[in-house]
Structure 1
Amino acid sequence: MDSKSVSKIARMVQPESLKTEAYQPWSRGRGVDVWAMLCAAIAGDLETIKAFVDRDPGLLNCEYEYLTPLRFAVRENHREVVHFLLEKGVSPAYEFVDSLLTIAKDRGYKELTTLFESKLKEQYHIVPEGDEVADIIKSFDTEKLFSLFDANPELIYAADARGNQPIHWATLTRQVSVIDYLLDHGADINAKRPDGARALDLTNGDYHYRSSYRDLPPTALRKHEVLVGYLIAKGAYYDITVAAKVGDLDRVKELLDEDPGLVNRLPDYYGYYAGLPLRCAAGAGHYEVTKFLLTRGANPNEPEPGIAPRGSSLHAAVQGRHNAVVKLLLEHGADPNADVESSGNCLYIAKRVGAPIEMQNLIASYGGALNVELASYDGDAVTLAAMLFANPKLDLTSGLGAAISEGKQQIIELILRFQPDILKNFAFRDVSTPEFARWLMERGLNPKLADWLGATPLHRAASQGNIALAEVLLEFGTDIDAIDTDASATPLGWAARNGKKEMVLWLLEKGANPNLPGDEPWALPKAWAERRGFADIAAIF
């Protein structure tokens, strides 16, 4: 174990949820085991990692705030650990903020850079040219696209950084002519992205490209169901998730007769836009398909790791405001408090989508309720007050963070009446406005406190170019040269990495040191700007 890794681990703060032996569904392991795995990955302690994986193979993909052992091993250039995790089936296409390949390139790890370039190309056809192809498809310039393919036929399979091949992008953008061209020239209609998605799974968009409402041009095909039928006619495999999504009961029956285990088996692709058959049917409001799946043993609380640890079928039905389906699922034991990643629980989503009060009352009658975090996020002082009167010592950490980020001053005032010192030891991340930040700091909020990886509020303000907030933070004593343990950068480095020129100039004027960190030259502000292509910022240093 090298001294730099030891120092980084020592500076990290063990999150409360990773101090417990209880299983943490969002982290996919016992809290203490997940912490041990992350620390071992940072330290390059392969034997410890092997021992934990032997005991619980699920820890291969454990995480905290989306950060995994593989990511940390790459970050610290522990090649033996990286090879072990990849050999055990962990995907090399992991991405959170930056990809593993980008992390290796940033730090100058040549061996790992070569390894990931090779793995990504071999397994998923990811090549640098893939991003150019994707941009052309998104621009709807078919003449330029077809000329490019005619001159370079191999690019028909070229995937972008996220693993989208042209067939995926043609579907996301709903361009039938491009789909036809690609299939006529040998593209695989069932090709899978790293996350398991095929073209047929993407007719209504995905997390990064919201075809349903945000990113699709108004002149493009409106009804994604048309594209579903078109792709099936062209040879796309028609699986049970798509059949459930479009309400094809006969196809669902046919597939379950062939393989009854499909009813609760996770599909290759699941996330916000796809999941278990029951979720797909319930979310679309297909009552008869939902009822049939339940009679065949579908579990409304079947976990979808990383997205819905206690099931998502009820949540999906509530979001779609399908009252009859909601009632059916509750009668079959659906958890009324099941939450979906970044989307709250069932009662919360009912309020957010304006579901009828009858549906909200139905969920509540089965025990559904807002928790501290959701009540705070929603500004529901009545519900939170009731909780605090019942238990004045309630853990309010998650609620405090939600109230601060959403600017819920009334909620903060309520919290302070019951726990007046709570702000003093709270490491906050996002705050709604500089004025609200000042109000909070005048009441004890400490801007010097960093998160578990050493990032301070000033780091985040710098990355956003929020000079007004940064001014308040400095006024209340934050460290202008604090170095986080993940990017190994100061706030000045975060600003340079994100192309925030005005913030860079402002921080320098305020005395930020451009020569930190001294022991990791790749993490200097100038180096970040150069790698990210911000020549005008690099020229400042």
Structure 2
Amino acid sequence: MKCGFFYAAVVFTSLFLIFSGCAGAPEKAEEVAAPADDVWALLGKGDGSAKDYFLGKVDVHAKDELGRTPLHYAAETMDANLAAFFISLGAEVNERDNEGQTPLGISAEKKDAAVARLLAGAGADIHLPAQNGETPAQTAIASPDISFLRAILTASSAESTDGDGRTILHMASFAGNVDAVREILAVDGSTDKRDNAGKNALDLALSRPDSRNHMASAELLILSDGVSDSDIYPYFAPAVRSANYNIRRADGMTAMHFAAGLGHEGLISFLVEKKADVNIKNNSGAAPLHEAARSGNISIMRMLLDQGADVNAQDAKGNSALHIGIPVNAHEEAVALFLQRGANPNLRDEHGESPLHILITLNRSPRIVEALLDGGADANIRNIDGKTPLYLAVENNRVSLIPLLTARGADIFAADNEGLSSFDRAMLGREPALNALINAVTVLQSDSAGNTMLHAAVKNRGEPALIGRILDQKALVNARNKEGDTALHLTVRLNQRENGELLISRGADIFAPNSAGESPLYLAFSSAGNPRYWLINPQTVRAKDGLGNSVLHYLAQWKLDAHIPFVIESGVSTETVNATGETPLFAAVKFDGTSTIRTLLDAKANLNARDSLGNSALHAAVRWNAANSAAVLLDAGIDINAHSLSGKTPLHDSVRLGISDLETLLIEKGAGLEVRDSEGNTPFMEAVMAGYVRSIDRLAEHGADPMTRNIRGDTPLHIAVAGERSDLVNPLLHMGVSIHARNTRSRTPFQLALHISSRMVSVLLTKDRINNPDDFGNSALHIALQEKVPANILRVIIDQGCRLTAVDSNGRTPLRCAIDAGMWENAKLLADSGSDPFSTAADGKTPAEIALAAGENGLNALFSGKAINARDSSGNTILHYAAARRGNTTSIALLMTLGAHKDIRNIAAESPYDIAVRWNIPDNASLLE
């Protein structure tokens, strides 16, 4: 410990002696390089010996190439001692690097309280954003660990403001960070400072009454003498200051009433924590739950109930929460909530009315009434006038509610105090209430088995006239019982022809399935030995189901071949189509009914019919993998190369769907291998797009062209590369597909690969292709440079063995192309890989000459590595060139820094110095002497 203090004293004394002659704070030095390359490296590693450089050798304000000062490095390495050292030397605590990052911003990102405390103490701005856009103050407020906030909190920083005029107290209050507010108030208890919008910290805290933490923050601010214009303040502040959270105003309203009425969840949570009474009543006897119900705020109602609010509490007029006229949009959910929490739906108010009476009067929706009935509401309860809810519904013409009430047992004959029943009242008013009463108790009722009056009439062999009267009362002709049977199912089973024909004429559905999947149509034709041919009449001949399927579609699906001729003779066309344009032949194919296909073809069904997408029956056979049907269709002479609207043939589809059996069958039957769809794709290309190697091989074995192109000029290799399918690329390459084939956009597979992945580039550049140029004489490296690929891709090509000496049609090597394009990183990679910097192109220029003319960037790119002492054919190095008129002292100095040897001689035994003398350039010669 003593040694440490002694060392600190020595350092401080040395610094004092060094800087005692300086007037005021030291000016920022120019950005200079360290005297040794390792000073920044030492700082980066947190090596304490780096301090020695700043005791006279390096200015504390020096910056590295990223604009970082030594203090940035201290923050980055979380070295408090080093940070203190640089601060003691006068380091600028708010200096930004090239990315706009400050030392405190770095400490904020790292949650480094130790360094942050030093920086804040030295006046670092807590509101300057860090590299991630967040200020240290924001980081401190957002952090669950209060230690960082404490570190940056000083009297000065607490008073400082951001661009919106907000202090850190504003920010903590806005965020609802209770601990932060407490810490800040301990440092600076001022609560009256306002931001640019005129808001103080308490205003911001009270602006979020939905948050418990904001209310807790507001409590701390109020206790610190904070005031606010918020409408919450008159209710909340007295409660806080008196520590009585049940304190009432003149009207008996408490903060809890206020919060419940306006939906302030956070305030309620806070009040509950303070043991505020959730059942406290105001002067009218209303509890907070009444206020929440009036506002229609479901979440507040639920919160109060969770905290013990009495769901059956009644106000001075006997109203419970269920009696309240809750807003329409929330009424249904509120009723369900209250009932779930044990509300009594049969409580009466001072007029004897139950919540059900209130709902009828307010004309609420059937769903809300149904919810109350489901909760146990008495449908026959009377008010003090003796009126039931049904009576009120009739009296007020609530027609939509009448069927619901009668279905729940409401007595239409229950009389009021004057002796009038609901039915009597309906008779006085006539329609529409009367019709509603009659319909509700007659044709729409069902027994325990789900049978309606219509079912019962058919079962008991009722006359057609009776069936007609029931139907005239708007009975549901397709109503199902629990087994899913309609009345028409029953007439078919019982073979009641007249009743069945009547039901059909009134809209009975012959296609409606029961729970066993049986439709009346199926029952009619599946009855052994006794088909119900009467079901087929002029109306059902035209009938179709929801998907447009006719009677003949279904018979084909069910393979009821024996009845197909009768149905066709009755007028159902073999060419009738469903919603997707499919004829009955398609249905037979879909279910692989070979005999049904033959039956339909014998009946002159069109073998080459198409659906709405242009698909033939053979397309359908492929789509449904109906191999037997496909064979029958082919034997019948169907067009094997028929195109759909998308241009696809059955072979295209079989390849795309991976149905190898049908693919093989179609190939063996002579399907065209080079037919094209609307995009110009052949089945071979379809196989590539689908990624099926076996299909690719199979089609190739049968003569498919692997070099074919679609309308965009893409070859199969374009598609495989674009899909990153290296497993497809290899077989295609073995088939001789060119990696330099150009499509209509003049793009090759190799160019695509350059922008996809290095792995795909490696796959394409096989040994037999690596040095093959494209049609313009460009090697793989030339192309990569033209595509401006990153260095890692270029490295892959070099590692694959591409010749660095390859030249394009202008005699330029890849290195020359990189230099011409100013691609310095790629140029360096090529130079370091052994590319000749003195290779002369058709224009007589070399990469070295161009680099020399380009200055520092060019020279660093070519000669910062292995090529620094490379020689041309005359033995000249780049330093020889720089010594002559092509160079200057700047380039010579740079080259020597990069390691150029000035004593190398060319074949004429001339050194760079000799060249400079011969060219009479004394400045160059003096550097090279």
TM-score range, shorter chain: 0.3 to 0.5
Bigger RCO (CA 8 Å, 6+ sep): 1
TM-score, normalization by structure 2: 0.22
Structure label with greater radius of gyration: 2
TM-score, normalization by structure 1: 0.35
